[in-house]
């Protein structure tokens, strides 16, 4: 993949990860030692940085290739994280976490009923007053903008790219993982249901969660139809 073929991909550097993790920790405002579930953790870049700060991290993902990279990177970083391969529809935790995070459009893979039930399982996994931070595509913004991404690991070992197309509320995503060392390319094509804020609020209310704040980016800006992201912070009701 050359620079010329990247098109509108946005480069996510280590500095980007630092900003994202800083946002996560500031918004959650937890004490080191508290438990966080990274729901669909991917290759672990958030989970590992959070573990470095002393949080007790569990990471789950449905893609073994991503988890293999995450395990290797956690070992290099000398942090202990429980990485497990699991479909998010099969969450079976009960009051174990102070917070659950779901980053980078990792929600909406299934039909509306399954997606709503996942939020109920997230609420069940939270401790009383636990927090749920979910980062979603902003459907309103996507109507008139492009949300393609390109991320290269600082070591240069792995490259991850996304290409996203939106039509009738459904985002079609093409995700390619390239191991620069082995040359192996893995392509994942899937669709996401892109929800509006009102739709998410309804799902949360039916799951025992209340929205505290909605952000438009990892810089903490307020959410609007003009922001590329819709990052929702919700709290479990007692």
Residues 6+ apart with CB under 8 A from 3: none
**Residue 172 falls inside a structural domain:** no
Query: Which of helix, strand or coil describes residue 216?
Result: coil
**Residue 1 falls inside a structural domain:** no
CATH number of domain containing 230:
3.40.50.150
Phi and psi angles of residue 165, each rounded to the nearest 5 degrees, phi first = -125, 135
**Residue 62 falls inside a structural domain:** yes
For the chain, the maximum distance between any two Cα atoms, rounded to a whole number of angstroms, is 53
* Residue-level pLDDT at 144: 66
Domain coverage including residue 104: 14-137+195-236
Structure-block tokens of residue 214:
């909605």
**Residue 131 falls inside a structural domain:** yes
155 vs 215, more confident: 215
Find residue 228's DSSP bridge partners: none
**Residue 110 falls inside a structural domain:** yes
pTM over 0.85, yes/no: no
Separation CA 182–CA 76 (nearest Å): 19
**Residue 64 falls inside a structural domain:** yes
119 vs 10, more confident: 119
**Residue 82 falls inside a structural domain:** yes
Which strands sit side by side in the sheet containing 97-102, from one edge to the other? 82-85, 56-61, 35-39, 97-102, 126-137, 229-236, 209-215
How many domains, the chain?
Answer: 1
* Residue-level pLDDT at 151: 67
**Residue 90 falls inside a structural domain:** yes
CB 191 within 8 A of CB 173: yes
* Residue-level pLDDT at 9: 26
CA nearest to 12, candidates 39, 37, 32, 42:
42
Lowest mean pLDDT among 50-54, 60-64, 198-202, 225-229: 225-229
Strands (E) across 3-138 are located at 10-12, 35-39, 56-61, 82-85, 97-102, 126-137
């Amino acid at each position: 993949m050359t620079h010329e073929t990247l098109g509108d991909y946005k480069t996510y550097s280590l500095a980007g990860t630092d900003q994202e993790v800083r946002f996560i920790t500031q918004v959650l405002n937890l004490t080191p030692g508290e438990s966080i579930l990274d729901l669909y953790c991917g290759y672990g870049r958030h989970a590992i940085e959070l573990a470095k700060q002393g949080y007790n991290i569990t990471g789950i993902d449905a893609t073994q290739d991503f988890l293999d990279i995450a395990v290797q990177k956690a070992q290099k970083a000398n942090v202990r994280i429980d990485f497990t391969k699991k479909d998010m529809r099969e969450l079976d935790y009960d009051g174990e976490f102070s917070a659950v995070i779901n980053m980078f459009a990792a929600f909406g893979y299934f039909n509306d009923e399954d997606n709503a039930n996942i939020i109920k399982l997230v609420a069940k996994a939270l401790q009383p007053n636990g927090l749920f931070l979910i980062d979603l595509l902003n459907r309103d913004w996507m109507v008139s903008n492009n949300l393609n991404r390109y991320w290269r690991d600082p070591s240069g070992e792995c490259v991850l790219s996304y290409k996203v197309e939106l039509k009738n509320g459904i985002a079609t995503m093409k995700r390619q993982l390239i191991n620069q060392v082995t040359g192996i390319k893995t392509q994942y094509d899937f669709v996401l249901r892109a929800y509006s804020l009102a739709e998410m609020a309804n799902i949360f209310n039916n799951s025992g969660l209340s929205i505290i704040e909605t952000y438009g980016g990892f810089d903490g800006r307020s959410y609007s139809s003009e922001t590329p992201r819709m990052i929702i912070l919700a709290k479990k009701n007692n």
